[in-house]
Each structure stands twice: as C-alpha cells, then as structure tokens.
Chain A
Amino acid sequence: MTGDEMRAPPPLGLLAELTHRCPLRCPYCSNPTELHRASRELDAATWGRIFAEASALGVLQVHLSGGEPTARRDLPAIIRHAVSAGLYTNLITSGVLTDERRFAELVEAGLDHVQLSVQDAEASSADRIGGYAGGHARKLRFAPIVRAAGLPLTLNAVVHRQNLDRLPDLIELALTLGAGRLEVAHVQYYGWALRNRAALLPTRAQLDAATDTVNRARDELKGRLVIDYVVPDYYATLPKACMGGWGRQFLAVSPTGLALPCHAAESLPGFTFPDLRTTSLQDAWNNSEAFNRFRGTAWMPEPCRGCARKEQDWGGCRCQAFALTGDAANTDPACALSPHHALLDLAVREAAEATHEFTYREMGRAPAPATG
C-alpha cells in the first residue's frame, strides 16, 4: 500500500452502537453473534469524548443505534454530548420502549431525526418475526409521538421472504404513520441472518414484484414519500460498495468501545480493532492496521485487481466475502466475476425448499457457524 492510500479522507458518519440489549429478537439482527452484556458498555462521558473526537475529525452525523439504544437510561445525556459536539443526531430504534414522557427528554436533549424499524405491516407476523409479543402495536403508538414532537420520521422495513409480499402494505403504513422516508432494506446475510438464510431469502418472483411495486410507488408518491430500495446481493451480478468502501466514509463503534470499519466487522477473525477506551478516534481512523488493511486497492486479489470497477465498489463487502468464502480478502461473491459466485445461486435454491423456522437472536446463544 502506498503512502497516499494510507492517508484516509475523514469519515462523514459514525454508527454508535450504544448497547446490545434489545427486547426484540430479530433473526436477522446485524449485531455480532457474541453479544456483550450491559456491564461492559461505555459510559456516557466516554461517548461524549468519542463524539468530540469524531466531530474534530470530520464526522457530521451520528446514528445512535444498538441493540435498542433507548434501553440505555442515560440516552438523553448521550444525545446532549452529541449535540454539543455539533453532530446531527439520528436515533435508530424499534420504538417499543419509549413513551411520550421519555421521548420528550430525547427531544429536549436535541435529537434531530428518528428512524423506526418495523418487522412487517401485519401485527401477528411482525411480532413473530421480532420474537416479541405486542411489539408492533407499540411501534404504532410510538410513531405519532415522534410526529407530534415535530421530528422527521423514517420508517425502516427489513424485508425477506416472509414479509416481502406485503411491501404495498408497508408503503401504506409509512404514509399512515407520517414518515417522510421509507427504507426498504433487504436482509444482509452474515451473523444471525446467515444462520437463518434459508428461512429468509426471497424468491426471484417475489423480488421482481417488489421492484415493480417500488417503481410504481415512487412515481405516485413523489413529493410525499421518498423510498430507498436496493436489490439484494443474492440476485445481483455486481456487488455494492459496502459502507462506501472500507475505512472511507463511515465507522462504527461497538458497545464496548471498539472502532470498526463496519458494524459487522467485529466478527472477522485475525483483526485487532482499536479500543477507544485507550486510543483516540483519530489515531484509530488514520493509523490502525485494521482500518488500513482493506483501504484503497493494493490489497485486492484477482479478479478485482485488474478490474475497471475497483474504485467504484472497492471489491464489495468484506464480511460477506468472509462469511461465504472463509477469507475476508476475497472478492465479494455477490460479484459475477468471483469464482465463488455460484454459492449464491446454491443458497437461493436451498432456500426454495426450506421451512420458515427461525433461530432467534439471544444473549449467550451464538448460532453454529453456517456452512457454505
């Protein structure tokens, strides 16, 4: 790697995973399968220092996430730290723990925006997917609290085989709840989701119908609702520039204070991620081996090395490369040029014959590593 590639541009966004605690148990949760307990979480003052360092480095937005970030009683203090560092604050929440009084404290602290996740448009299915009875009804009560406080609301719907047919209802739900934006996010298959892949992968027919639905709704709802939608990797021939490229625009910080190039990276073996209890964010971003390892293009193997798209997609997702090929330095198998691309078709065919049973996300229950 040359000196130029090592000098990284400053990050724009920080994903702050405040806790792994969450009352829901989504079978596709992006948290690592080794969940950390509350006793190891960073305190609010340390988050404050990290936010100040992030802002000085060039971060503009902080996404307060988890687990469920409102499970932290000191969330208002954490938001105040982010606001006084000058960061734009976005709360990513399941909405099931926050009543009017509690939300008023977050607004008072200076919260800018809320992203509310839903598991489905239909209550019984949503509650089954989230593994939490009564959760959907609570979300429906939470959204109006956000809107009444005058905050902008984004609805985030994670979609897969068991709810994709209800995409029209999810769009309707976003309108009913007063969301300005709807994110239709396909499950990303590593960690818990990889374990549940056969129960979650959509069929080609479902996917085509969903893409049509989105295109029509985007036309009809212009000026009322913005819809974010990306075709899932398992049906793609080109990979996505995961996180805008490793160590290029974003970083995540785990509940215990590890700086990560992406929220899923903690599960990659052979890494020592910088510990922000003892390292500054600037040092972690600029100088750590973990952030530098997949920066730029010099680390790439073939077929990426000689490919014209290498500075567009940066070789795709490192976590997916590891999950499916066993080596994080391989070309993302979502790419049709990857020698491992056939693994995706295989998974799609397996899923077509599988049941709808889940392994739910739980503390102290790491799923067995998936094969292939």
Chain B
Amino acid sequence: MDGAAVPRFPRGVRLREDAARGRWVVLAPERAFVPDDVALEVLKLVDGERSVGGIADLLAARFDAPREVIEADIAEMLRDLAERGVVVAG
C-alpha cells in the first residue's frame, strides 16, 4: 500500500453504521469488528477509486496536519488491515 495504491473492500467485507449502538462496524464473514476513530476516518474514505495519497490529501486538509506524516500513517494502517483481509489494493 504505497501512495498510488487504491484500496477497496473485498467482496464479503462491508463498513456500515451501527446506529442502534452508536458506532460503526466492519462486517466480514462470520465476524465483525469496531474500528478505532482514526481507522474509521480512513475506512470511510475507502471507495475503490481514491488512492492512499488521495485519502491523505483529504485528511491532511481536514485535520490541518502535515501531509507526509499522514500519508505514511495511513499507508501503514492499510497494510495492517490488508494483512487481516479487511481491504485489498485494487
């Protein structure tokens, strides 16, 4: 997952709001997990079209933070999620 990679959810994995419990959840085969706040901001921007760099642009603007640092953090987080099968590089 470098800056140009375009992450997406594989078939069978979905992010959705769990309004009844006031949170968001990632649903996958026979399991579900609750992403932390930072991961959630990133996952909400995963749409199969935006690149890691594109996500970093948006979040750097939104949180007024240095873009390079943000991109590195996002790339690492997505690598970790990719190892667990939650996202794939498309």
Contacts and interface: CB of A to CB of B under 8 A. Distances in A.
Contacts of B27: 60-61, 88, 112
B14 interface: yes
B11 A86 contact: no
Interface in B1-46: 10-12, 14, 16, 18, 20-21, 25, 27-30, 32
A88 B14 contact: yes
Contact of A180 (B14, B25, B29): B29
A12 B32 CA distance: 10
Q: Tell me the interface secondary structure of chain A in the complex.
A: loop
B30 A150 contact: no
A113 B12 contact: yes
A228 B29 CA distance: 13
Given A112-B12, A113-B12, A150-B11, A181 B20 contact: no
Given A61-B32, A181-B30, A152 B20 contact: no
Contacts of B16: 60, 86, 88
A23 interface: no
A12 B27 CA distance: 11
Given A60-B16, A88-B14, A152-B12, A113 B29 contact: yes
A10 B25 CA distance: 15
B11 A152 contact: yes
Interface in A44-93: 56-58, 60-61, 86, 88, 90
A90 B29 CA distance: 8
Contacts of A12: 32
A112 B16 CA distance: 14
A61 B25 CA distance: 11
A58 B21 contact: yes
A61 to B, nearest CB: 7
A137 interface: no
A363 interface: no
Contacts of B11: 112, 149-152
B29 A10 contact: no
B29 A60 contact: no
B18 A181 contact: no
A60 B18 contact: yes
B4 to A, nearest CB: 23
A154 B14 contact: no
A60 B25 contact: yes
Contacts of B30: 90, 113, 154, 181, 228
Given A58-B21, A60-B18, A60-B27, A151 B12 contact: yes
A284 to B, nearest CB: 16
Nearest to B83: A223
A113 B20 CA distance: 23
Nearest to A86: B16
B29 A58 contact: no
Interface string B50-84: 00000000000000000000000000000000000
Contacts of B32: 12, 60-61
A113 B85 CA distance: 14
A85 to B, nearest CB: 11
Nearest to A228: B30
Nearest to B12: A152
A149 B11 CA distance: 9
Nearest to B14: A88
B11, B25, B32 — most chain A CB neighbours (10 Å): B11
A10 B20 contact: yes
The 6 closest A-B CB pairs, nearest first, are: A58-B20, A152-B12, A88-B27, A150-B11, A152-B29, A113-B29
Given A90-B29, A112-B14, A150-B11, 11 more contacts: A58-B20, A58-B21, A60-B16, A60-B18, A60-B32, A113-B30, A150-B10, A151-B12, A154-B29, A154-B30, A180-B29
9 contacts: A10-B21, A58-B18, A60-B18, A61-B32, A88-B14, A88-B27, A90-B30, A112-B11, A112-B12
